[in-house]
Structure 1
Amino acid sequence: MKKVLDSLCDYRRFSWNLGLETWQNMHEARQLALTQHLKAELKKPRKKQKLTNAEREILANNPVPSWRRIRDELTENKQYWQTKLPAHVFNLAIQDLGNAWQNFFDKAQPGWGKPKFKSKKAPRQGFKMDQAKIKDGCLFLEKPRAVKETWNGFKLSSAPLSDDFGTISFYKEKNRYYASIPFKISDPEDKPKTGRYTGVDINVGHFNYRDGQCIVMPQSLAAVYCKIKHYQRQLSKKRVVNGKIKGMQSKRYMKARNKLQAAYARAKNIQNDLMQKFTTKLVSEYDSIVIEDLSVKGMLMSHVASKGMHRSMFGRFRQILTYKCEWYGKKLIVANKLYPSTQRCAACGLVKKGDEKITLRGNKKHGTKHNEFVCYNPNCRNYNKKVDRDENAMLNLIILVKHPELNKAL
């Protein structure tokens, strides 16, 4: 079955590349068939004038490429070895290619790039199948009629959520095989109302909220990153052979790369588990949650703690919390980018400006550290007292629940 999965991954990549090549050839043939004169004629406004017979014939012989035309043309020219592989893998690959071209030309989605050819050296390979079945807790692939051998099923790690599911995505990553099964289930019910609210101050390595602190970079994660650093050094040494970069295909290089990928996968799983548990706790215990609108890309440009910001998963936290608040009927408030949560005193409301501001290196004028907040307002109850800056910022975020008019630059 491992060979079957590998062959289906190769067949998906073959179908995509062949379809993309045929698509490009069909488009080029249409462009070459239309001469420069005919192009100019077609671009002119034709209110009463119709297409000539020559133009109609050229357009009919060279139609606009679509996934259905590509599928039909490739189906007519199928080879014998393709009959031993599921036809739906081929069809879904061509459909996805058509969707990729459609997204590329969609002006409402400017982020989509032009479809590219798939490489067999890519770290992730996979295929899709819409005729797979689940029986007695096992997943069975679609077997073609031309195959006489027996295909065994795969035992699922947990019981199926429902008998109704969509197209299954299989993929191979880091020498492991995964199946992503989209079950069709009812919408989750709203969490019970608690009448409580909180703010979450996001920091490198920890998130502060009303009832405590969530450590997003625990000691176990630090050990994994030490392994990653070690494997990266090993990998860079094995790339060079006799002073030249030729070692990428050696067995030792591939072994070190697999260890590095496994370490990265473990770090990702640890952090994802922490994020999921923490966000679920927030939506279960609080009705309103206030977070900061951080420019993560801009913050990563700074050389001060940029690696820690990347590993703290600021963007991932907001993404998970957003959809969970929608699921469970909780309110998510996003503070304005210019709202001075770290520069404002939560007790008196005084905002630090100029050389009084607190930076990542602290405050040079008063000699305070970056995690210390000192209010110099004589009328404040925290006058000349060192307060934790993260706790102060969290309290400033909580204020926005009852006073949304303050959600702006102060």
Structure 2
Amino acid sequence: PRFKSKKATRQGFKTDRAKIIKGKLRLDKPHGIKNWYDIRMSGDKLLTGELKVVSICRENGKYWASLPFEIEVANKAKTNRVTAVDVNVGHINYTEGKINTLPDNLKRSYKRIKHYQRMLARKSVINGKRATKSNNYVKTRAKLQRDYRKVANIQHDIMQKFTTQLVEEYDKIVIEDLQVKQMQMTHVAPKGLQRSMFGYFRQILSYKCDWNGKKLILADKYYPSTQRCSKCGHIKTGADKVGLNGNLKHGTKHNEYICYECGSVMDRDENAVYNLLALIN
């Protein structure tokens, strides 16, 4: 295909004339092309529903097609259960346990990404504009794009499965209304905040709750879920506050919550979950 811009890193186009025929994807035949075939679809089950606008892009020398289908989704059965979700850097806590959002295989991929980025930067500094025309630069960039796609697929898979589990098992879900952009602009763990995908988690959970008739409750951004004691209700202020690195005044760790009013010692994230759960009652 002839794309609008040859300089764009992600070249693609959209078409509303694509069809699924006998388990194969059929696209319009471009002008001047003699040999043109339908694309085989992998998987045992054929895709059903009304096929909408298909997006096709070229990335890393390969073509990718996004096939959106409009189908009727039956509402999930009511469970009369409630839960609260506290998102953190690297994991998500809820009433039944914890989900790891940055597993070890992701950490290894991020190390490779860092290595390839340094190689490309070094080549650009030495060779300038000519660097992008070398074969080694193209090969290294292809490896970098491959690892970026692998990381995105793993993270999206984790989020999609967890949010589906939430809407299937609970009728009411409480999450925090976080200011993700402002949090990433701080000097405390901005890279970890970006990789934990707080905004993506809220986005997909919102539309899945709408689809299945479940209620999503947003806690106010000033609600002290981390600073409040879930047992006595005392709220820490000033130098007693708990931060990402714990509390310097009392020498506590980042995952500890110690209430100096009632003497309770709890896990910081579990305490936040119970505080969010109190908004439903």
Q: 1:391 aligns with which of 256, 262, 270?
A: 270
Residue 174 (1) aligns with residue 53 (2):
no
Q: Aligned partners of 1:317 and 1:167: how far apart in 2?
A: 25
Contact map agreement 1:342 1:392 (CA 8 A) in 2? yes
The match for 2:136 is 252
Q: Secondary structure in 2 aligned to 1:291?
A: strand
CA displacement, residues 277-330 of structure 1 (integer Å, 9 cap, x when unaligned): 111111111111100011111111112111111000000000011011111111
- Which of 224, 239, 242 lines up with 1:355 in the alignment? 239
| Residue in structure 2 matched with residue 197 of structure 1 by the alignment | 82
Query: 1:341 Cα shift?
Result: 0.3
Aligned residue pairs, count: 280
1:162 to 39, 44, 48: 48
Q: For the Cα contact (< 8 Å) 1:238–1:252, is it kept in 2?
A: no
CA distance in 1 between counterparts of 2:140 and 2:32 reads 38
Deviations 1:116-164 (A, max 9, x none): xxx30211112223333322111222236x7572311111124443363
Tell me the CA shift for residue 205 of structure 1.
Answer: 0.3
What is the rounded CA distance, in whole Å, between the counterparts of 2:230 and 2:34 in structure 1? 72
Match 2:23 to one of 127, 137, 154? 137
Partner in structure 1 of residue 169 of structure 2: 285
Any unmatched runs of 5+ in structure 2?
A: none
Q: Is the 8 A contact 2:257 2:268 kept in 1?
A: yes
Find the residue that maps to 2:12 and give its secondary structure: strand
Of 246-255 and 260-269, deviating more is: 246-255
- The structure having more radius of gyration, on CA atoms, is 1
Please give the per-residue CA displacement for 1:346-374, whole angstroms capped at 9, x wherever unaligned.
Answer: 00111111222112232222221222111
The CA deviation string for residues 174-199 of structure 1, in whole angstroms up to 9 with x for no partner, is 2221222232322x111111121111
Letter in 2 for 1:398: L
Instruction: State TM-score, norm by structure 2.
Output: 0.94
Question: Does the 8 A contact of 2:85 with 2:94 survive in 1?
Answer: yes
Does residue 234 (structure 1) correspond to residue 113 (structure 2)? The answer is no
* Aligned pair partner of 1:328 in 212, 220, 231: 212
Of residues 66, 69, 81, the one that matches 1:183 is 69
Contact 2:83/2:94, CA 8 A, preserved across alignment: yes
Distance 2:188 2:33 in 1: 62
SS at 1:400 equivalent:
coil
* 2:14 equivalent in structure 1: 128
Q: 1:40-97, CA deviations, whole angstroms, 9 ceiling, x for partnerless residues?
A: xxxxxxxxxxxxxxxxxxxxxxxxxxxxxxxxxxxxxxxxxxxxxxxxxxxxxxxxxx
Contact 2:49 2:71 in 1 (8 A): no
The one-letter amino acid of 2:243's match is T
More contact order relative to length (CA 8 Å, sep ≥ 6):
2
Give the one of 196, 203, 214 matched to 2:99: 214
Q: Would you say the 8 A contact 1:123–1:174 is kept in 2?
A: no
1:16-55 alignment runs, 5 A limit: none
Larger helix fraction of residues:
1
Residues in 2 aligned to 1:249 and 1:151: alpha-carbon distance in whole angstroms? 31
Q: TM-score, normalised by structure 1?
A: 0.65
Label 1:364 to 1:167 Cα distance change in 2 as closer, same or farther (>3 A).
closer
Gaps of 5+ in 1: 1-7, 14-118, 403-410
Aligned residues of 1:289 and 1:332 also touching (Cα < 8 A): yes
Please state how far the C-alpha of 1:172 moved relative to its aligned partner.
1.1
Q: Which amino acid letter does the alignment assign opposite residue 125 of structure 1? A: Q
Contact 1:240 1:246 survives alignment (8 Å): no
- Cα RMSD after superposing both structures: 1.8
C-alpha separation between the residues in 2 aligned to 1:204 and 1:311?
A: 8
Q: Identity of counterpart residues, as a percentage? A: 54
C-alpha separation in 1, matches of 2:215 and 2:105? 33
Alpha-carbon distance in structure 1 between the residues aligned to 2:272 and 2:151: 29
